[in-house]
Homo-oligomer: A and B are copies of this chain.
Amino acid sequence: MECDILVVGAGIMGVTTAYYLKKRDPSKKILIIDKYAGPGQGNSAKSEGGYRNMFTSDTNYLLADTSLDFFLHMQEEMGYDIKMDPIGYMWLFNEDQFTSLKGAIDHMINRGIEVVVYDRSEIEKMIPALVTDFGEDEEAEILGLKNIDYGVFGKKCGSLDADALVRAYEAEFIKLGGKVQYNTEVKRIHVKPEMELGIPGEPFVWQKKVITGVDTNKGEIKAGTTVIACGVWASELLDPIGLDSFMKPKKRQLFAFKDPKIEPVMKTIGLNSEGALPLTILPIAGILLKSELTEGSIWLGCADWIPRKFELEEDPQAEEDYYTNNVYHALVMYFPNFEDVRPMNSWAGQYAINSFDETPVIYKEEGLIYVGAGSGSGIMKGDALGRIAASLYFGEEEAELYGGQKFRVADLGVHHRKIEPEKFVI
């Protein structure tokens, strides 16, 4: 089989990249392959589906903000039901945390990001089920819990259906004549000399090399350009040819709750039109909750830091103990309604974390384009990433993001990367 561009991976980055490549040059023969049976089945569809434009790095802000605008356009004008629900993001902080982030918060506000700062008394009114002050509570002290002194609320933030989003891009790509082939697993990337001599041992060190496609479980696919957009699996393909994916996989678990006891937690006042719990981040351990309006449930996750290992798992699972004998201890102190409530469902996915700057990486190398290292916010930046990867393919220095904003392609690259520390990470 032969094509102009082969995209390995039908997750968010693969489908957006393929879509913008095809849209910009419909004459190109573009094929997406994925080892799973459908789009987004690696980690995209396992995402908690939070979205936000609240980032302190200008790069992250631009990538997300313009992507969110396009997602809204898809929902409102292109007819895709991706369940974008602007319930907001509420980051809860104690005094010290807030002080250390004050400069970053001001930067976001000055940049025009819709961010509102609330004090404790306001938060108590808005989220009545939340305990904000542990007073002299001995257990809270033993657990090292932090009071809630401030809430930083982002308005252009909320929840979307990541699975539906990936399928929407796939559908648009197919509408343009793009091809998709599932259950097709890449075994290895082909590196060939640019000018083959037909001598055993090629490619030799002194030959100019080029990536010419891949071997799969269904045979060889030759491609003018091979796009590696397979998330946490990228190292499995890139390591054997000595290219870097700039990411390491880390498991993240999600737990869904539906119980009359936690109904008070789901009710808030004045934060969004549904009176629903925003995606709320507790001031400790990156514990986050969000209301999932379509199923009337609450989803809970936690930003695992050390000692949560970096490891590629084929089929990561939620751990039974992780909620009941770990997150729960702290959660129930902030939201006492969770007492004795057990998850009705749980699952796990993996983040592809670039620990340098928690920002995606896009580079080109001799017939290959890599799009990856989403670092947990790749879905909400997906539209911009697809446009940037397409610009890189077409040799442009700047990509045009949705809305007309320009973006320097090399800012996400390797050797001329723009490194900006991101202070708002979960």
Instruction: Give bound CA distance, A415 to B355, whole Å.
Output: 9
The copy count of this chain in the complex is 2
Is A1 interfacial (CB-CB < 8 Å)? no
Interface residues of A in 306-328 (CB under 8 A from B): 306-311, 321, 325-327
B306 in contact with A142 (CB, 8 Å): no
Contact digits for A190-228, partner B, Cβ 8 Å, 1 yes 0 no = 010001010011011111110100000000000000000
Is A182 interfacial (CB-CB < 8 Å)? no
Q: Which of B207, B243, B311, B365 contacts A239 (CB 8 A)?
A: B311
Residue in B closest to A423 when the chains form the complex, CB atoms: B415
B306 in contact with A243 (CB, 8 Å): yes
Residue in B closest to A421 when the chains form the complex, CB atoms: B415
Instruction: Give bound CA distance, A246 to B357, whole Å.
Output: 12
CB proximity of A96 to chain B, nearest CB, Å = 13
Q: Which residues of B contact A244 (CB under 8 A)?
A: 248, 310, 353, 355
CB proximity of A10 to chain B, nearest CB, Å = 25
Is A22 interfacial (CB-CB < 8 Å)? no
Q: Which residues of B contact A416 (CB under 8 A)?
A: 421
Is A242 interfacial (CB-CB < 8 Å)? yes
Instruction: Give bound CA distance, A353 to B145, whole Å.
Output: 40
Instruction: Give bound CA distance, A308 to B205, whole Å.
Output: 9
Q: Which of B208, B285, B417 contacts A419 (CB 8 A)?
A: B417
Is A366 interfacial (CB-CB < 8 Å)? yes
Residue in B closest to A305 when the chains form the complex, CB atoms: B242
CB proximity of A325 to chain B, nearest CB, Å = 5
Instruction: Give bound CA distance, A373 to B421, whole Å.
Output: 21
Instruction: Give bound CA distance, A243 to B414, whole Å.
Output: 21
Q: Which of B195, B306, B308, B357 contacts A415 (CB 8 A)?
A: B357
B241 in contact with A307 (CB, 8 Å): yes
Is A347 interfacial (CB-CB < 8 Å)? no
Instruction: Give bound CA distance, A208 to B143, whole Å.
Output: 10
CB proximity of A338 to chain B, nearest CB, Å = 14
Q: Which of B191, B195, B329 contacts A307 (CB 8 A)?
A: B191
Is A330 interfacial (CB-CB < 8 Å)? yes
Q: How many residues of A contact B (CB 8 A)?
A: 58
Interface residues of A in 212-268 (CB under 8 A from B): 238-244, 246, 248, 250
A209 in contact with B144 (CB, 8 Å): no
B356 in contact with A242 (CB, 8 Å): no
Instruction: Give bound CA distance, A248 to B248, whole Å.
Output: 11
Is A133 interfacial (CB-CB < 8 Å)? no
Q: Which residues of B contact A287 (CB under 8 A)?
A: 205-206
Q: Which of B321, B366, B421 contacts A201 (CB 8 A)?
A: B321
Q: Which of B206, B209, B329 contacts A206 (CB 8 A)?
A: B329
Q: Which residues of B contact A197 (CB under 8 A)?
A: 142
A250 in contact with B246 (CB, 8 Å): no
Instruction: Give bound CA distance, A286 to B205, whole Å.
Output: 9
Instruction: Give bound CA distance, A421 to B206, whole Å.
Output: 24
Residues of A within 8 A of B (CB): 142-145, 191, 195, 197, 200-201, 203-209, 211, 238-244, 246, 248, 250, 284-287, 302, 304-311, 321, 325-327, 329-330, 353, 355-357, 365-366, 414-417, 419, 421
Q: What are 9 contact pairs spanning A and B, CB under 8 A?
A: A142-B197, A143-B207, A144-B208, A201-B325, A203-B307, A206-B285, A239-B248, A242-B305, A246-B355
Question: Can you add 18 more A-B contacts, CB < 8 Å, to A205-B302, A205-B330?
Answer: A143-B206, A145-B206, A191-B307, A201-B325, A201-B326, A203-B307, A205-B327, A206-B285, A239-B310, A240-B309, A240-B311, A242-B250, A242-B305, A242-B307, A243-B306, A244-B353, A355-B414, A417-B419
Q: Which 7 pairs across A and B sit closest by C-beta, in order of nearness?
A: A244-B355, A191-B307, A206-B330, A241-B307, A205-B285, A206-B285, A415-B421
